[in-house]
Amino acid sequence: MQDTPFEVYGTVLASRLLIGTAQYSSPAVLAEAVKASGADVVTVSLRREAGKSRAGESFWNLVRDLGVKVLPNTAGCRSVAEAVTTAEMAREVFATDWIKLEVIGDDDLLQPDVFGLVEAAAVLSRAGFKVFPYTTEDLLVAEKLVGAGCEVLMPWGAPIGSGRGLNNVFGLQALRKHFPSVPLIVDAGIGTPAHAAAAMELGYDAVLLNTAIAKAGDPVMMARAFAHAIEAGRLGYCADPIPPREMAEPSTPQIGRAFSDLSKRA
């Protein structure tokens, strides 16, 4: 299978790894991790801009200096109105119509409120936003999000920050098969490079993660590891891997195999 460019909303991205910018121990570590990851896109929460205190100004300058595309998010929003208002503010602050849409419905698992998500996606799409919805792997919800104007879907692998990897491989596979031409990005729950490679081997277009890099013992090294894992997983998928089998299949041909009949030597 020949690889195709990774394109979202008419923009071709060189990297299939998108990373968050929260929880890093220092701005310097964040900058080095982003560079090591090779990411073209970083997610940014509007809450960092801290209004009157301008506490987020130095952070924003740092992100701009990295030369990456910013994907603002509505992290922490728990209603349609809150998410829409945050998105509108983010468009003004960051001068982009891209928005990672989160409408959280559960405090323990930070699971998306899919009903509010679809409603907010429709409102924002009509207002000219290019919506990246953080959703579950539910096919019906995905259909409604696409119908609401979303040209990309971002199903979770597992709860945010859990590091559990891909909790529902069957569901993610079904989503991929159901939407063969829609860009799909696994978002949340990735803990190790192996998890990211597994997502790419399912045919997903990209992976978005934050905690697994930011909270690693060596974030820069981990960012580099994820970059390699994403590349390996994508190459593996495009190379058309062998299907799993119930029984063994010898890799050495049986015909023409050398043997000796020791019984004739007696």
Q: Quick check: is 100 catalytic? A: yes
Residue 74 annotated in ligand binding = no
DSSP structure string for 204-238: -SEEEESHHHHTSSSHHHHHHHHHHHHHHHHHHHH
Q: Which of 35, 69, 100, 144 is catalytic?
A: 100
* Closest among 18, 21, 36 to 222, alpha carbons compared: 36
Report whether 199 contacts 189 (CB < 8 A): no
> What is residue 199's three-state secondary structure?
helix
**Dihedral pair phi/psi, residue 207, rounded to 5°:** -135, 135
Q: Which two tokens stand for residue 70?
A: 């910013």
Residue 188 annotated in ligand binding = yes
Interacting residues of 147 by C-beta distance below 8 A, sequence separation 6+ = none
Cα separation, 27 vs 33, in Å, equals 10
Residue 161 annotated in ligand binding = yes
What is the layout of strands, in order, in the sheet containing 206-209?
Answer: 154-155, 130-135, 98-101, 69-73, 41-45, 17-20, 206-209, 185-187
Active site residues: 100
- Residue ranges of the binding site: 161, 188-189, 210-211
- Residue ranges of the binding site for 1-deoxy-D-xylulose 5-phosphate: 161, 188-189, 210-211
